[in-house]
Amino acid sequence: MQYCIRRRTHSGKKSHPHGSVIIIQARLLNAILVQVPTRASSEDLAARVLFFNVGNGLLRPDRLKEAVEHSQADLIGLAELTSTQANALRDLSELYPFQYLYGLGIPGKGLLSRWPLDGVELLELHSARPDLRANVKLPTGNGSRTIQIIVAHPPPQRTLLRTEQLKAILKLATSGEPTLLMGDFNMVQAQAAYRVYRAAGLRDAYREAGIGRGFTYPVRRAGLRLRPLLRIDYIWYTQHLIAQRAWVGVDHGSDHLPLFAELFLQPDQPA
């Protein structure tokens, strides 16, 4: 369901005694509802992408299923997916006929797509944190274009294994083919690893096309609802794509908020 709040200006009329309250309420509603924008025209749209760290079971399976079902996303990458969460998503096979769900808990990954996937594999770039890679065929007016998809989740601990994992992910993402890289990277914009990714040519969808700070974590801890203060979830892409907009979704019960982006294919870039 989409929402729209319209302002009406009054000229030369007596103001309503509760006018200020109405304006404040409208602004508050707008701040919440802007996170679910109307879908862009599908004529040139490559994909609406969703990345969501689903909290290792913290997000109830039924609520996860509902969030995915109403996301209007074409490609969905998931991290910290459990077996019960994965089982709930299998019921959406008509909406997302191409599914690869590895319900492994913290190392768990998932990829759902409206379009055909092939070459799906778990990459053992970190012994305890396999990343997910696949190719998706995006429909175009003249056929389809193949895009590499990587769903990653490096650990927060600053270890040599993590450093090597980040390097390996970056090498794959910048191999020359059109690539969409999404994940919980456990890094913030001020860190050196972020600057390395940017310097290598990857583009951060939220930095390029998002509004606001884009904080996605932490939403809750030890049962307490918190205000997110960190931007550690990312949707990266190569020069073959361009982000039209990006936004943070609403709270569904995980300790992360979902991250969305709408991306277009660059018409002058070879497949």
Do residues 217 and 188 lie in contact, with contact meaning Cβ atoms separated by under 8 Å? no
Tell me, yes or no, whether 215 lies in a domain.
Answer: yes
Tell me, yes or no, whether 14 lies in a domain.
Answer: no
Tell me, yes or no, whether 3 lies in a domain.
Answer: no
| pLDDT interval class at 140 (50, 70, 90) | confident
Amino acid, res. 1: M
Q: Tell me the average pLDDT of the chain.
A: 86
Tell me, yes or no, whether 23 lies in a domain.
Answer: no
| pLDDT interval class at 6 (50, 70, 90) | very low
Find the range with the poorest average confidence among 37-41, 82-86, 210-214, 257-261.
37-41
| pLDDT interval class at 110 (50, 70, 90) | very high
pLDDT for 35 beyond 70: no
Tell me, yes or no, whether 1 lies in a domain.
Answer: no
Q: What local confidence, expressed as pLDDT, does residue 268 receive?
A: 56
What CATH code is carried by the domain that includes residue 192?
3.60.10.10
Find the range with the poorest average confidence among 7-16, 23-32, 115-124, 223-232.
23-32
Two tokens, residue 226: 């918190």
Give how many domains the chain has, as a whole number. Answer: 1
Amino acid, res. 20: S
Tell me, yes or no, whether 24 lies in a domain.
Answer: no
pLDDT per residue as tens digits for the range 142-173: 788 899 999 999 999 999 999 999 999 999 99
Tell me, yes or no, whether 9 lies in a domain.
Answer: no
Longest dimension (CA), the chain: 70
User: What distance in Å separates the CA atoms of residue 271 and residue 268, rounded to the nearest whole number?
Assistant: 10
pLDDT for 9 beyond 90: no
Q: What local confidence, expressed as pLDDT, does residue 40 receive?
A: 54
| H or E stretch at 61 | helix 61-69
CB within 8 A of 89, min separation 6: which ones?
Answer: 64, 65, 68, 96, 99, 101, 110, 112
Alpha carbons within 13 A on the beta-carbon side of 92: 29
| H or E stretch at 79 | strand 75-79
Task: Give me the domain span that covers residue 112.
Answer: 42-265
Tell me, yes or no, whether 189 lies in a domain.
Answer: yes
pLDDT above 70: percentage of residues in the chain: 82
| Closest C-alpha to 240, from 260, 262, 214, 269 | 269
Q: What local confidence, expressed as pLDDT, does residue 39 receive?
A: 55
User: What distance in Å separates the CA atoms of residue 116 and residue 199, rounded to the nearest whole number?
Assistant: 32
Q: Does pTM top 0.95 for this prediction?
A: no
